[in-house]
Amino acid sequence: MRNGPIQLSDHFSYRRLLRFTLPTIGMMVFTSLYGLVDGFFVSNYAGKTAFAAVNFAWPFLGMLGVVGFMFGSGGNAIVSRLLGQRHPEKAREVFSMLVWLALGIGVVMALPGWFFLRPIMLWLGASEEILPQCVLYGRIILLALPATLLQYEFQTFLSTAEKPQLGFQFTFAAGMTNMLLDALFIGIFKWGVAGAALATALGQCVGGIGPLLYFWRPNTSLLRLTRFLFDGKALLETCINGSSELLSSISMSVISMLYNFQLMRYIGENGVAAYGTLMYVCFIFVAWFVGYCVGVSPLIGYHYGAENRVELKSLFRKSLLLISLFSVLMTAFAELSAGVLSDLYVGYDPQLRALTLRAFRVCSLSFLISGFNIFGSSLFTALGNGPVSAAISFFRTLVCEVAAVLILPLLLGIEGIWLSVLVAEAVALLLTLFFVVLYRNRYGYC
């Protein structure tokens, strides 16, 4: 049993828990990694202006993918609970509804996004120098938006289907497609931001359409696409449960836009380029926490639905210990590798390199805290308490970080911008702890 196939109903030792969650951790890390490669090729082969343009456009484009995150995380809580309650057919119907809705919404959003992209970039503060490249990059990315939403959604549902390894395989295929095409389109063909966008779009098609074909055909997982009747109640519950991920994704995009605005104001193009490097690199470290939470969420939802409080407590305790370990390791590695990572992106510009290195050393301290906030929000999503999960995400991002990035620069200048994320995470941790203690008896996780 120890080395056999892992099922949601199992008891999870540390070893078994890591076996189940490592594929989703790898999936998220690899997703971040091919974003890192995107940035490397654009910065080193197309120049820092193109790099700034991509980083300026990406927050808005990323915000359009929030439906996939919301349906994936919010729907996962429902589907895993239904599986725990022994209602597999209903679980498949809800799953199928959410998949086809995400695909349709992606098509609907892509069209107006194409036409309004230029005025949106202008409204966000794009300079005349980077505007054309922002628009070119964004319009190509929008062509793959339906597949992007599916990719984000399936990253969660493949774990719920007891196929986390398959999720990693699809992500690996998508990432390799992106990276190889980056080298071809940017490094060899010299297509610049157009090549970066095309490589990303085709990679997202692999990550979104591949799982769609898998679930469309008969398979050995707990889930498959089947006929369904529209269930407004399940959709509403999905949206409420997934509201924290919706808010978190929107907030990250809004905050990135705000950072770009502040950096253009205080430093200019160099500031946006430095922040772009910071985003690419930090996503890899944060991906460990996100990947673990995505992996453990269906287990929490299943055992909560099955009313197995003993296993629920065990998962909660083990998760806190593992996140503590990840936090220390991520922070130590980030501090030690800051110079190498800065050189990788902007080593060709000494002034930009020094700016990037300082920003990374300050921001990486937030890894000591952020994992607990991410897990707290994910915990309540898995338990079906969307409002509490959303409150943690909203307070952590749209309240704390927005306030920090607006106020701290007035007091500390550019240093205040880099300190914003650390201060925001520390303040948000207080709210996370408050909710964890408040609801411990209701849900029985500790």
* 5-14 residue pLDDT tens: 678 888 899 9
Check whether 370 has a pLDDT greater than 90: yes
Q: Look up residue 171 and give its amino acid.
A: T
Structure tokens at 10: 């199992």
Least confident of 3-7, 62-66, 273-277: 3-7
Give the domain extent around 35.
Answer: 14-443
Check whether 72 has a pLDDT greater than 80: yes
Q: What local confidence, expressed as pLDDT, does residue 51 receive? A: 81
Least Cα distance to 116 among 144, 135, 133 occurs for 135
Per the domain annotation, does 287 fall within a domain? yes
Check whether 300 has a pLDDT greater than 50: yes
- Please tell me what DSSP assigns to residue 5: -
Per the domain annotation, does 360 fall within a domain? yes
Cα 446 to the chain's mean position, in Å?
27
Check whether 368 has a pLDDT greater than 90: yes
Per the domain annotation, does 4 fall within a domain? no
Nearest-angstrom CA–CA distance, 250 and 411: 27
Q: Look up residue 234 and give its amino acid.
A: A
Per the domain annotation, does 7 fall within a domain? no
Q: Mean pLDDT of all residues in the chain?
A: 88
Q: What local confidence, expressed as pLDDT, does residue 1 receive? A: 41
* Per-residue confidence band for 3, with pLDDT thresholds at 50, 70 and 90: low
- For 86-105, what is each residue's pLDDT tens digit? 999 999 999 999 999 999 99
Check whether 348 has a pLDDT greater than 80: no
Q: 130 to each of 25, 50, 122, 273, how far by Cα in Å?
A: 34, 7, 10, 12
Q: What is the CA radius of gyration of the chain?
A: 21
Q: What local confidence, expressed as pLDDT, does residue 428 receive? A: 94
- Count CB neighbours of 337 within 10 A: 15
Q: What local confidence, expressed as pLDDT, does residue 4 receive? A: 60
Check whether 396 has a pLDDT greater than 70: yes
Per the domain annotation, does 5 fall within a domain? no
Q: What local confidence, expressed as pLDDT, does residue 181 receive? A: 95
Check whether 34 has a pLDDT greater than 80: no
Nearest-angstrom CA–CA distance, 270 and 51: 10
* DSSP string computed for 387-414: HHHHHHHHIIIIIIIHHHHHHHHHHHTH
Nearest-angstrom CA–CA distance, 7 and 346: 45
Nearest-angstrom CA–CA distance, 56 and 45: 18
**Average pLDDT value for residue range 190-210:** 94
Per the domain annotation, does 135 fall within a domain? yes
Q: Look up residue 227 and give its amino acid.
A: R
Least confident of 39-43, 158-162, 267-271, 371-375: 267-271
Per the domain annotation, does 292 fall within a domain? yes
Check whether 425 has a pLDDT greater than 80: yes
Per the domain annotation, does 172 fall within a domain? yes
Q: What local confidence, expressed as pLDDT, does residue 256 receive? A: 79
Check whether 253 has a pLDDT greater than 70: yes
- Please tell me what DSSP assigns to residue 217: S
Nearest-angstrom CA–CA distance, 185 and 427: 43
Nearest-angstrom CA–CA distance, 253 and 59: 4
Non-local (6+) Cβ contacts of 225 within 8 A are: 92, 95, 96, 99, 212, 215, 216
Least confident of 31-45, 48-62, 127-141, 214-228: 31-45
Q: What local confidence, expressed as pLDDT, does residue 250 receive? A: 76
Nearest-angstrom CA–CA distance, 376 and 394: 13
pLDDT greater at residue 131 or residue 73:
131
| Number of domains making up the chain | 1
- Please tell me what DSSP assigns to residue 1: -
* Per-residue confidence band for 64, with pLDDT thresholds at 50, 70 and 90: confident
Q: Look up residue 445 and give its amino acid.
A: Y
Q: What local confidence, expressed as pLDDT, does residue 194 receive? A: 94
Check whether 393 has a pLDDT greater than 60: yes
